[in-house]
Amino acid sequence: MRRWLLAVGIASILVTQGAGADPEEFYGVRWGASVDEARKSFRTAGVPPREAFCYSQVCLWDRAIGSTPIRLVYEFSNSRFVRGVVQFAPADYAAVRQMFIDLYGSPTNRAAERSTWNGDRVRIELSNGAAQGRGTVSRSPGAIQGLSVPTHSPGR
Dihedral of CA 64/65/66/67: which sign? negative
**Cβ atoms within 10 Å, residue 70:** 25
pLDDT score of 32: 93
Please compute the mean of the pLDDT values over residues 131-150 and round it to a whole number: 54
User: Quick one: pLDDT at residue 124?
Assistant: 86
Q: Are strands 68-77 and 80-87 parallel, antiparallel or unpaired?
A: antiparallel
pLDDT at 66: 84
pLDDT of residue 140: 66
144, 31 Cβ separation under 8 angstroms = yes
Judge if pTM exceeds 0.85: no
* Residues 131, 3 contacting (CB under 8 angstroms): no
> For the ranges 6-10, 31-35, 79-83, 114-118, which has the lowest average pLDDT?
6-10
Q: Does residue 138 carry a pLDDT above 50? A: yes
What local confidence, expressed as pLDDT, does residue 155 receive?
Answer: 43
DSSP, res 14: -
Q: What is the pLDDT of residues 53-108, one digit of tens each?
A: 998 999 999 988 888 888 899 999 999 999 988 888 888 888 988 988 887 788 99
Mean pLDDT of the chain: 75
Whether residue 14 is predicted with pLDDT greater than 90 in this model: the reply is: no
Q: How confident is the model at residue 39 (pLDDT cuts 50, 70, 90)?
A: very high
